[in-house]
Amino acid sequence: MAEKPEDLNLPNSVIGRIIKEALPDGVIISKESRSAISKAASVFVLYCTSCANNFALQQKRKTLKDTDVIAALEDMEFEEFVPLLKDYLETYKTEQKNKKSATEKRKKAKEALENSLDNLNEQESEDVEMKEVDKSEDEVIDADGPQELDAHKTDN
């Protein structure tokens, strides 16, 4: 758990960015208001987490799931956020699937490339071995050839 209550606050930069995006252009917010919104957001997150944890414990789980958070929002009477949250969750899950399939495709392509390179290296090794065998056979023929000629000369 957090050592100090301040450790539970959300980062000011994040809160500032959210506030800036939510307000129309030209609207200025005081430091006190920014601090109050930051504290309220932190309390909301902690309360929602606590409620979601209660739902997980009822199900005899230690891991909070998206269904726990949705149930917590409904229990806290923030039902109007549930459809939006479900849309975001669906988008997130789709993005994760796409990332996973893209990673698998890259992995398969890499494996195929490595297999092709291995096959190419094996083929080159076989070609070099065949050239060495041909060369050694040529040397044997060359070595035998002059001897046969010499044998013909002595016969004459």
- pLDDT, tens digit (0-9, with 9 covering 90-100), for 27-71: 989 999 998 999 999 999 999 999 999 999 999 999 999 999 999
SS3 for 115? Answer: helix
Residue found by looking up tokens 């997150």 in the block: 45
- Alpha-carbon dihedral sign for residues 120, 122, 124, 126: negative
pTM across the whole model: 0.59
Is the pLDDT reported for residue 16 higher than 90?
Answer: no
Task: Give the pLDDT band of residue 146 (cuts 50, 70, 90).
Answer: low
SS3 for 53? Answer: helix
CA distance 102 to 114: 18
CA distance 79 to 73: 6
- pLDDT, tens digit (0-9, with 9 covering 90-100), for 113-144: 888 777 777 777 777 667 766 666 666 555 55
Provide the residue ranges of all domains of the chain, joining segments of one domain with +. 1-77, 100-156
Task: State which CATH number among 2.70.150.10, 1.10.1370.20, 1.10.20.10, 3.40.50.9100 fits the domain covering 1-77.
Answer: 1.10.20.10
- pLDDT, tens digit (0-9, with 9 covering 90-100), for 59-113: 999 999 999 999 999 999 999 999 999 999 999 999 999 988 888 888 888 888 8
